[in-house]
């Protein structure tokens, strides 16, 4: 029998994170959204509370929490502020290639310091000319004695100006696409690494997004992750492990939008009646609630698969595609319920609307998730019926 209840430890973690979001994120979300400043004091407090770097194994000082626990945390945080949550969570994305393919020495050198003090790591995969097409990476690498030399540019890199190191994907020969990709750990202070000016974004303004330029950057051979030519697989495994969390991000934002709408209709009066009494409003809230519940079920299935059953690519893509669309739809409907008040920054709905859009774009667009799923259905899906019956009008025999 399937048990949908959280364990006592999971409930405790959920309550702790919810309290953190309500005390340290929601009160300051508007300020950081308007200023665009990096929310370092909030992130420092989050690190002190033990709510960062959740996937790092115990042998390196971390809590070694599973994907389900990480999803529980990010849903609560994203309900508080999407941008802050992106800045906090990106460490988990950055270290995932090390967890998947790193040596014991690499893990000791690069994971333990994240637990001992507040440090940042960024995931450097996207480029000016490619995002979801990981096989199309143009950043080049060549072997030079005991070093690898990197040349190229990365774009859309979260926390790049604050990172202590990066996990970087590069190609020996871009014409060979996925067969030539490699992954590396690159220290931010390595000569030849240059961080671009942060870009102004529509939403998630409490996270810093910049470009990175690599100009003849020498990376010691002990910093390669896995074998040469195995970088594509590392990237895909990374996304399979982290996409459930993006679905949880979206679920948290959608839940917040629904709760703001619920609060508003309980107070607002129109035509001498509370807005809550109108059937059209009740239907809108019901639709939000149903889809949020479905989103949570999908991300929990994907997270469970990541923790227990190996390859979570398909359930992660299902959860990511569905939950991010739900977040965008729910934010829009909640804004609509608020009317003109939803359109001004004195209420949080316009921020939620702006923030929701990014979930449909980063870590694989909604279209890419559907491409993955469409190919799965056509090429790898195993039909429940071995042979589909012929469809015609046939009288049954006497059984």
The model's pLDDT over 330-371, given as tens digits with 9 standing for 90+, comes to: 999 999 999 999 999 999 999 999 999 999 999 889 999 999
**Residue of 69, 75, 96, 363 with catalytic role:** 363
Is the Cβ–Cβ distance between 170 and 227 less than 8 Å?
A: no
- The boundaries of every CATH 1.10.540.10 domain in the chain are 8-116
Residue 161 falls in which region: left (phi positive, over 0), alpha (psi -120 to 50) or beta:
alpha
* Residue 232 and residue 250 in contact, taking contact as beta carbons nearer than 8 Å: no
- What's this model's pTM, rounded to 2 decimal places? 0.94
Q: Return the DSSP state at 256.
A: H
pLDDT band at 397 (very low <50, low <70, confident <90, very high): confident
Residues of the chain with CATH 1.20.140.10: 232-379
CATH of the domain spanning 121-229, picked from 3.30.360.10, 2.40.110.10, 3.20.20.140, 2.40.50.100: 2.40.110.10
| Residue 97 near residue 183 (C-beta atoms within 8 A) | yes
pLDDT in tens, 190-241: 999 999 999 999 999 999 999 999 999 999 999 999 999 999 999 999 998 9
CA quadruple 98, 43, 192, 144: dihedral, nearest 10:
-10
Q: Is it the case that residue 96 has pLDDT exceeding 90?
A: yes
Domain spanning 8-116, CATH class: mainly alpha
CATH code for the domain defined by 232-379: 1.20.140.10
The torsion angles phi and psi of 147, rounded to 5 degrees, stand at -125, 160
CATH 2.40.110.10 intervals, the chain: 121-229
- CA dihedral angle for residue 29, residue 34, residue 38, residue 41, rounded to 10 degrees: -40
Burial of 262 (0-12, 13-18, 19+ CB in 10 A): middle
Strands 181-187 and 147-158: unpaired
pLDDT over threshold 70, residue 99: yes
Tell me the percentage of the chain whose pLDDT exceeds 90.
88
Look at residue 394 and tell me whether its pLDDT is greater than 70.
Answer: yes
Active site residue 363: yes
Question: pLDDT band at 1, cuts 50/70/90?
Answer: low
Cα 124 to Cα 127: distance, rounded to the nearest angstrom: 8
- Residues 38, 41: Cα–Cα separation, whole Å: 9
CA nearest 190: which of 217, 162, 209, 170? 217
CA distance 155 to 310: 30
The yes-or-no verdict on residue 161 having pLDDT over 70 is yes
3-state secondary structure of 309: coil
Say whether pLDDT at 131 is over 80. no
Pick 268 or 319 by higher pLDDT: 319
Q: How confident is the model at residue 293 (pLDDT cuts 50, 70, 90)?
A: very high
Angle value at C-alpha 278, between 274 and 279, nearest 5 degrees: 155
The DSSP 8-state label assigned to residue 117 in this structure reads S
Query: For 110-129, what is the mean pLDDT?
Result: 96
Name the more confident of 178 and 46.
46
The two most distant CA atoms of the chain are separated, in Å, by 84
Phi then psi dihedrals of residue 362, to 5 deg: -80, 160
Within 8 A by CB and 6+ apart from 62, the residues are 53, 54, 55, 56, 111, 114, 115
182, pLDDT greater than 90: yes
- 212 by DSSP, 3-state: which? strand
Q: Which residues of 59-75 are buried (b: 16+ CB within 10 A; e: fewer)?
A: ebbbbebbbbbbbbbbb
Alpha helices by DSSP H, listed for the chain, are: 8-20, 26-35, 40-48, 67-80, 82-101, 104-110, 112-116, 231-267, 279-308, 313-338, 349-359, 366-379
Q: Name the nearest CA neighbour of 278 among 259, 265, 262.
A: 265
């Amino acid at each position: 029998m399937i048990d949908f209840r959280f364990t006592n430890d999971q409930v405790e973690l959920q309550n702790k994170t919810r309290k953190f979001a309500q005390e340290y994120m929601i009160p300051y979300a508007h300020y950081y959204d308007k200023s665009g400043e990096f929310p370092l004091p909030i992130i420092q407090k989050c690190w002190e509370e033990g709510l960062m770097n959740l996937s790092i194994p115990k042998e390196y000082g971390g809590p070694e929490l599973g994907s389900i626990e990480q999803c529980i945390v990010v849903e609560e945080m994203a309900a508080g502020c999407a941008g802050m949550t992106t800045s906090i969570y990106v460490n988990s994305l950055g270290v995932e290639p090390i967890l998947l393919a790193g040596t014991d020495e690499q893990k000791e050198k690069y994971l333990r310091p994240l637990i001992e003090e507040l440090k940042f790591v960024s995931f450097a995969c996207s480029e000016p000319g490619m995002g979801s097409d990981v096989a199309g990476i143009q950043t080049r690498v060549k072997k030079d004695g005991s070093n690898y030399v990197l040349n190229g540019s990365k774009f859309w890199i979260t926390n790049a100006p604050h990172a202590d190191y990066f996990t970087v994907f590069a190609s020996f020969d871009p014409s060979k696409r996925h067969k030539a990709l490699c992954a590396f750990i690159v220290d931010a202070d390595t000569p030849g690494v240059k961080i671009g000016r942060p870009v102004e974004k529509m939403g998630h303004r409490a996270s810093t997004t910049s470009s990175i330029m690599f100009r003849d950057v020498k990376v010691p051979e002990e910093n390669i992750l896995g074998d040469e030519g195995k970088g594509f697989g590392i990237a895909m495994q990374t996304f399979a492990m982290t996409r459930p969390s993006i679905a949880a991000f979206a679920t948290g934002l959608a839940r917040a939008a629904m709760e703001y709408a619920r609060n508003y209709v309980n107070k607002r009066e129109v035509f001498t009646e509370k807005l809550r009494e109108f059937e059209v409003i009740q239907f809108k809230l019901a639709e939000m609630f149903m889809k949020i519940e479905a989103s949570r079920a999908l991300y929990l299935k994907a997270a469970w698969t990541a923790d227990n059953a190996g390859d979570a690519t398909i359930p992660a893509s299902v959860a990511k595609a569905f939950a991010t669309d739900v977040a965008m739809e729910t934010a829009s409907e909640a804004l609509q319920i608020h009317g003109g008040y939803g359109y001004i920054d004195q209420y949080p709905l316009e921020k939620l609307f702006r923030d929701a859009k990014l979930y449909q774009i980063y870590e694989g667009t909604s279209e890419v998730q559907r491409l993955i799923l469409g190919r799965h259905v056509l090429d790898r899906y195993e039909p429940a019926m071995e042979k589909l019956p012929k469809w015609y009008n046939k009288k049954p025999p006497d059984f």
